[in-house]
């Protein structure tokens, strides 16, 4: 759980994107050290994606998933479009919540690709993060299965019983259970060699022509039936930053705007509730059980 001081600091960081003072961040003096130079073909997208996106087994799997509603190869970008015009076009033609099947009485699920906790430098870089609109949420949580599970488990509010992750060091599954009753501390994580979950949640970046040049980033959350890797739902969104005074290149993904038809994000902290509501609409939990 994020402390009061952490929350105040995150509020300060967000406000820095709105201030014209020189006291927040230094101006960019060099190009991004993460500029993509190598691109590869993947099964899950119509065009090439940065090689960094498939550098891990989880990233490679995420980019291999074929979904029922893939984005078209032609994104609709035309020469002379402004960043705002391109963003509005992508939001109108590609973003949305696409639910193909729902499941009742789900106790928990396998979080297949928990994002790393991004640094401020990464959030101020145009290229470093694969899906900054997703990854920015995890700056609010310590990089542990227990803390991440509190996105989905809060007694009486968020109703899953457990969330599983796989430890890459020992290949054990780590089952987390949200908060300790009456505290802001996560419960003890349980380790097991066997996965309990039938359903999985994974994310990936979406690469569109000329997107990062226009300071736009796309992403998808994908819900799977792990019995056959059937896609149950896809949630696709785009984020746009830029024109942030005193941030390198005007980039500050923490307060980037989402597509207008997405659920409104009033703060970085609300992103956790937003994600829970998306997943809950597909993997419907047993809400009467609030243990």
pLDDT score at 148? 95
pTM over 0.95: no
Read off the DSSP letter of residue 275: H
**Residue 21: pLDDT over 70:** no
Name the more confident of 273 and 9.
273
**Residue 270: pLDDT over 80:** no
Please give the average per-residue pLDDT across 172-188, as a whole number.
93
Please give the average per-residue pLDDT across 199-221, as a whole number.
97
Please give the average per-residue pLDDT across 268-283, as a whole number.
84
Q: In DSSP terms, which residues pair with 154 in a beta bridge?
A: 158
pLDDT score at 29? 42
**Residue 31: pLDDT over 70:** no
Decide: helix, strand or coil at residue 284.
Answer: strand
261, 238 in Cβ contact below 8 A? no
**Residue 23: pLDDT over 70:** no
CA within 13 Å, CB half, 82: 4
Please give the average per-residue pLDDT across 77-87, as a whole number.
96
**Residue 231: pLDDT over 90:** yes
pLDDT score at 156? 87
Query: To which H or E segment does residue 99 belong?
Result: strand 96-99
pLDDT score at 276? 93
Please give the average per-residue pLDDT across 6-15, as a whole number.
46
Name the more confident of 55 and 32.
55
pLDDT score at 181? 87
Instruction: State the burial class of residue 73 (Cβ atoms within 10 Å of its Cβ: 0-12, 13-18, 19+).
Output: exposed
Dist CA 235 CA 88 (whole Å): 17
**Residue 79: pLDDT over 80:** yes
Dist CA 137 CA 269 (whole Å): 7
Q: Give the Å distances, CA to CA, from 56 to 49, 112, 133, 149, 220.
A: 14, 12, 20, 22, 17
Burial 197-206 (b: 16+ CB within 10 A, else e): bbbbbbbbbb
pLDDT score at 30? 55
Please give the average per-residue pLDDT across 81-101, as a whole number.
97
Dist CA 199 CA 230 (whole Å): 10
pLDDT score at 22? 34
Name the more confident of 209 and 266.
209
pLDDT score at 158? 92
pLDDT score at 193? 97
Instruction: Give the strand pairing for 158-159 and 153-154.
Output: antiparallel
**Residue 165: pLDDT over 70:** yes
pLDDT score at 291? 46
**Residue 263: pLDDT over 70:** no
Q: What is the mean pLDDT of the chain?
A: 87
């Amino acid at each position: 759980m994020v402390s009061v001081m952490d929350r105040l600091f995150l509020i300060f960081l967000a406000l820095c994107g709105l201030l014209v003072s020189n006291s927040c961040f230094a101006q960019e003096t060099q190009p991004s050290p993460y500029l993509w130079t190598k691109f590869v073909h993947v099964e899950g997208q119509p065009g090439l994606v940065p090689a960094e996106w498939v550098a891990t087994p989880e990233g490679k799997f995420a980019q291999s998933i074929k979904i029922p509603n893939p984005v078209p190869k032609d994104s609709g970008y035309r020469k002379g479009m402004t960043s705002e015009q391109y963003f509005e076009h992508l939001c109108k033609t590609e973003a949305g919540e696409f639910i193909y099947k729902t499941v009742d009485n789900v106790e928990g699920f396998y979080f297949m690709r928990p994002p790393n906790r991004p640094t401020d430098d990464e959030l101020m870089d145009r290229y470093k993060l694969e899906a900054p609109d997703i990854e920015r949420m995890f700056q609010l949580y310590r990089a542990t299965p227990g803390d991440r599970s509190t996105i989905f488990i809060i007694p009486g509010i968020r109703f899953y019983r457990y969330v599983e992750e796989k430890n890459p060091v020992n290949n054990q599954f780590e089952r987390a259970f949200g908060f300790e009753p009456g505290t802001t501390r996560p419960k003890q994580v349980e380790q097991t060699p066997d996965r309990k979950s039938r359903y999985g949640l994974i994310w990936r970046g979406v690469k569109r022509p000329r997107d990062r040049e226009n300071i736009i980033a796309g992403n998808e959350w994908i819900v799977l039936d792990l019995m056959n890797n059937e896609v149950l739902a896809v949630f696709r969104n785009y984020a746009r930053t830029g024109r942030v005074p005193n941030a390198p290149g005007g980039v500050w993904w923490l307060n980037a705007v989402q597509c207008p038809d997405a659920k409104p994000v009033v703060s970085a902290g609300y992103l956790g509730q937003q994600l829970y509501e998306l997943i809950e609409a597909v993997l419907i939990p047993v809400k009467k059980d609030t243990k």
